[in-house]
Amino acid sequence: MCSLWVVLAFCCLEQLCADQSLKPQIAAPKLATNNPTLTTVTLEKPFCMFDSSLCPNKSYVIYLYAMKESASAISSLVTDNSSKPLDSTFQKTSGGQLGPYKAALFNVPNCASPPRLADVGDVSKVSDVLKQYLFRVGDDGTCLYDPNFLAVCNPPLAPDTTYRFKYVLLDSTEGIMKDQTLWSDPIKTRRVKLPLKIDTWPGRRSGDMIVITSILSVLVFLLLAGFLTSVFSAVMRSEDSSAETRCVSQTIQQSEPTPQLSSE
């Protein structure tokens, strides 16, 4: 009987280690284009990661923790001494600078019936499929400033900053952590581009082309203004010449002697 428990314990340990060898993955480019963005990172949800840790007649949820790569390894723990997950927030950790914060809470994905990725091609189903399969970190721009917001806050990430992410399986019945993944590989948000380096649509022109185009536009404007000024000056000179001609003509007419009739 004792040996049976040893075998079972060994099997559970192997399963736990197998689960813990997994880590959050960034979403495939086909499912999430432009990822990461300046302030968001889209991850795949933990399908089938925690199946070996689930027990019947118990309730579970998934916590997603995020922290900046610059946070120290000592502060990367997500549970206290009693295995209860930390209720750290974005504000308390300075956006993940001081340690991990809870960025999301959602139900355990159903490994038995995952979303059909083939449905992504169906316009009417694509939104629902992506919502089931993916999670976007940094997608809530209002929760930090809403005093009535009580749910887990998922505020925008910092641009040009490297983050790591971790999934935690919480036993809702006992309120303790049942399992967890490793921290993800470093994922860096995009940096803000300088105006001269921004590609514009259409044509995806470079910053140098934008500057050259601007200069040429100014030169064309100056040439057009000079041309209009020349035309205006020519018209004014023409009007002045006509007026002067009329004045000279009237003067000549007035200076000519008027013939007088002889009186008999």
pLDDT at residue 259 tops 60: no
Domain membership of residue 113 (yes or no) is yes
Residues 106-158 pLDDT 10s: 999 988 877 776 666 667 777 877 888 899 999 998 999 888 888 899 999 99
Nearest residue to 183 (alpha-carbon basis) of 19, 18, 16, 24 = 24
Domain membership of residue 229 (yes or no) is no
Are the C-beta atoms of 211 and 57 separated by less than 8 Å? Answer: no
CATH of the domain at 170: 2.60.40.10
Domain encompassing residue 119: 21-197
Domain membership of residue 117 (yes or no) is yes
Range from 87-96, 241-250, 254-263 carrying the lowest mean pLDDT: 254-263
H helix count then E strand count, the chain:
3, 7
Non-local (6+) Cβ contacts of 165 within 8 A are 24, 41, 43, 64, 65, 66, 103, 137, 183, 184, 187
Omega within 30 of 0 (cis) for the link into 24: no
Domain membership of residue 185 (yes or no) is yes
Number of domains in the chain: 1
Assign 13 a pLDDT band (cuts: 50, 70, 90): very low
Alpha helices, H only, the chain: 2-20, 126-133, 207-255
Domain membership of residue 251 (yes or no) is no
Residues 162-203 pLDDT 10s: 999 999 999 998 899 999 999 999 999 999 876 665 555 555
Domain membership of residue 246 (yes or no) is no
Number of other CB atoms surrounding residue 66 within 10 Å? 27
| pTM given for the model | 0.65
Mean pLDDT in residue range 222-240: 75
Angstrom CA distances, 264 to 258, 260, 261, stand at 19, 13, 9
What is the distance between the alpha carbons of residues 53 and 111, in angstroms, rounded to a whole number? 13
- Between β-strands 60-68 and 162-171, what pairing exists: parallel, antiparallel or unpaired? antiparallel
Domain membership of residue 48 (yes or no) is yes
Domain membership of residue 245 (yes or no) is no
